[in-house]
Structure 1
Amino acid sequence: ADVTLVVSPVERELLARDAPGARVEILSNVHEVHGCRRGFAARADLVFVGGFQHPPNVDAIEWFVREVFPAVRAQLPQVKLHVIGSRVPASIQALADETVVVHGFVEDIMPFMDGCRVSVAPLRYGAGVKGKVNMAMSCGLPVVATPIAVEGMHVSAGREVMVAAEATDFADAIVRVYRDEALWQALSTHGLANVEHHFSFAAARSAIERLLA
């Protein structure tokens, strides 16, 4: 092939080692930049998005609800977690209660992107660029994520996203963003700029023009 396309610098670095003579270029996820359409004070709760036919999403929610969410609730007792994604297995449905709302598939995700205060991406394994993180940032919704969830996404912890690997740190990061309007606004602004620069239609058009040149 004349060129191989990958979704992030991580995959390009891997192929550079395995096939050092090949031309490898990046063409990543493409998202419309919706912008932040509701402010900090008008939002509440947490949201997770991910189809459950994908095993990392099942593991992520099971870990989050059991290991992270109790510590969040201890400091934010009114907060609910909204779980969105198709093909919900019995193990995830069993986690539902008055604080964990398992919606399953929804026709329109935007009310959650515009109405929740924090998006969580507690993935413990997986690969590629995570659309759930792109989607939230494209709506100006701050994200708290594990390192694997933001792999290859051109982000800095504390600027575009909050990053934590351990359950206690993850819970603390959520509480901090949830309470701190200035931090929330900074993450929202920088997240939108990240999507505009790396994952927008304009960014994809530039990548394709470079390929075809």
Structure 2
Amino acid sequence: MQQLLIIGFVWPEPNSSAAGGRMLQLISLFKEQGYNITFASPAQDSDFMVDLEENGVDKKSIALNCSSFDVFIKELNPSIVLFDRFMMEEQFGWRVTENCPNALRLLDTEDLHCLRLARQKAFKENRLFQTADLMVEEVAKREVASILRCDLSLMISEFEIEVLVTKFKIDKALLYYLPFLLDSITVTTFDKTPVYEERKDFIFIGNFLHEPNWNAVQYLKETIWPLIRKQLPQAVLNIYGAYPSQKVLQLHQTKEGFLIKGRAAKAQEVVCKARVVLAPLRFGAGVKGKLIEAMQCGTPSVTTAIGAESMHGDLPWNGAITDIPQVFADEAVQLYNEKKLWIEAQYNGLTIINQLYLKALFVEDFKKQILFLEANLHQHRFINFIGAMLQHHTMNSTKYMSRWIEAKNK
């Protein structure tokens, strides 16, 4: 049986972030293809991490800048190594290459970090983001180098593939579109969720360690929510999210109907009870788990162009998309008040899930892609000269820096 090693930036927390849910989807995908899976990470255990062993996955703690990893990976001898975000490839990629040169190296980007950070920088400098900003973004140099060193990068956003190909001239053969992998939704699925009349309140949900979420909550508090309350004086907005800081908790205002609830024990449960999801994201990247979850729960959403980016193709959104605060508030109020519009939006979400995110649409092609790469790995790497060049220099720079740190620590 083939062995897959996943090197995780953190231990998966599917109830805390979309990244955790995405990782469990990938684990399920490889398990169904018959792989033995080991998940290794240098991160500390958390109270909310998933029980990997319950999911049939071996768990292994590893250390940064330590040759104990070399012993571990030689013994494991994986046929595939999947890096969870580019930072893990930076730390462990050269060790994988040195000890298991024939292992297929995959990178799960989660989202394009350099895109998110460049947009965040432009926002904070009060200027419009231009894709040219990426060329001077420090993280872009690291992230693109990591993509080039890997045999295949799993991309969750088609827009980000376009950015990599057009701006950074990445060969499409190194990129593979693999979005969230979901089960189908039918009309009867919504029979198990509260109907329009049984739902109440607005909701925002998102991990507060993620800067775009914290910014969106500030934007709601200062700009969007007062406009909604002007039209619906008794409206309530419930703010859920893992790891809220004291700054977040201080925004709680009962009189304004702006309620900070913290971590949701069962995220889908609270989303299913809400009538409308609000997600006024002003910067970010990737595909937004909170908006996918809203569709699965049959809860319409109002978001921004960045929020809905690369999420719905040419299909109508399950609610509204706008970057104008007053229009955002008006659309939210209209969705909240008009049952017919609300139901139409709910079924738009069903269509998006079923046409763009069904696991069955991607499984077979992904399996063929992995088999093809394994059978043609030498040729695949031969044509990726820049990747081979970067791999060479990494082996002769990062390697010795890591060795120096290890010796210093001793």
Partner of residue 251 from structure 2, selected from 95, 114, 138 = 95
Asked if 2 retains the 8 angstrom alpha-carbon contact of 1:6 and 1:28, the reply is yes
Query: Equivalents in 1 of 2:265, 2:275: separation in Å?
Result: 20
Post-superposition offset of 1:33: 5.1
1:71-91 Cα shifts (integer Å, max 9, x gaps): 111111221111111111222
In the other structure, the counterpart of 1:11 is 160
After TM superposition, what 4+ stretches of structure 1 lie above 6 angstroms from structure 2? none
1:54-109 Cα shifts (integer Å, max 9, x gaps): 11111100111110111111111221111111111222211112211211112112
Query: Equivalents in 1 of 2:151, 2:198: separation in Å?
Result: 50
Tell me whether 90-99 or 141-150 shows the greater mean CA deviation: 90-99
Q: What letter matches 1:121 in structure 2? A: A
Q: What letter matches 1:153 in structure 2? A: M
Asked if 2 retains the 8 angstrom alpha-carbon contact of 1:157 and 1:163, the reply is no
Alignment partner of 1:137 is 2:295: yes
Post-superposition offset of 1:205: 2.2
Residues 85 and 6 of structure 1, relative CA distance in 2, 3 Å threshold: same
In the other structure, the counterpart of 2:350 is 192
Partner of residue 27 from structure 1, selected from 178, 186, 197 = 178
TM-score, normalisation: structure 1:
0.91
Asked if 2 retains the 8 angstrom alpha-carbon contact of 1:46 and 1:119, the reply is yes
Query: Equivalents in 1 of 2:213, 2:351: separation in Å?
Result: 26
Which structure is higher in RCO with an 8 Å CA cutoff and minimum separation 6?
A: 1
Post-superposition offset of 1:31: 3.7
**What are the equivalent positions in structure 2 for 1:1-213 lying under 5 Å apart?**
1-17=150-166, 18-23=168-173, 24-32=175-183, 35-36=189-190, 37-98=193-254, 99-155=257-313, 159-209=317-367, 211-212=369-370
Query: Equivalents in 1 of 2:337, 2:314: separation in Å?
Result: 21
Q: What letter matches 2:208 in structure 1? A: F
SS at match of 1:102: strand
Bigger fraction of residues in helix: 2
TM-score, normalisation: structure 2:
0.49
Post-superposition offset of 1:2: 4.5
Instruction: Give the gaps of 5 or more residues in structure 1.
Output: none
Query: Equivalents in 2 of 1:157, 1:199: separation in Å?
Result: 13
Residues 172 and 55 of structure 1, relative CA distance in 2, 3 Å threshold: same
Q: What letter matches 2:157 in structure 1? A: S
Asked if 1 retains the 8 angstrom alpha-carbon contact of 2:205 and 2:240, the reply is yes
Asked if 2 retains the 8 angstrom alpha-carbon contact of 1:122 and 1:146, the reply is yes
1:141-194 Cα shifts (integer Å, max 9, x gaps): 101001111111025686433011021111011011111111111110110121
1:9-51 Cα shifts (integer Å, max 9, x gaps): 1011012122353312210123445643121111110111101
Total equivalences in the alignment? 213
Query: Equivalents in 1 of 2:184, 2:274: separation in Å?
Result: 17
CA RMSD in angstroms, aligned pairs only: 2.0
Q: What letter matches 1:29 in structure 2? A: F
Query: Equivalents in 2 of 1:20, 1:53: separation in Å?
Result: 30
Instruction: Give the gaps of 5 or more residues in structure 2.
Output: 1-149, 373-410
Query: Equivalents in 2 of 1:206, 1:161: separation in Å?
Result: 32
Asked if 2 retains the 8 angstrom alpha-carbon contact of 1:117 and 1:178, the reply is yes
Identity of aligned residues (%): 28
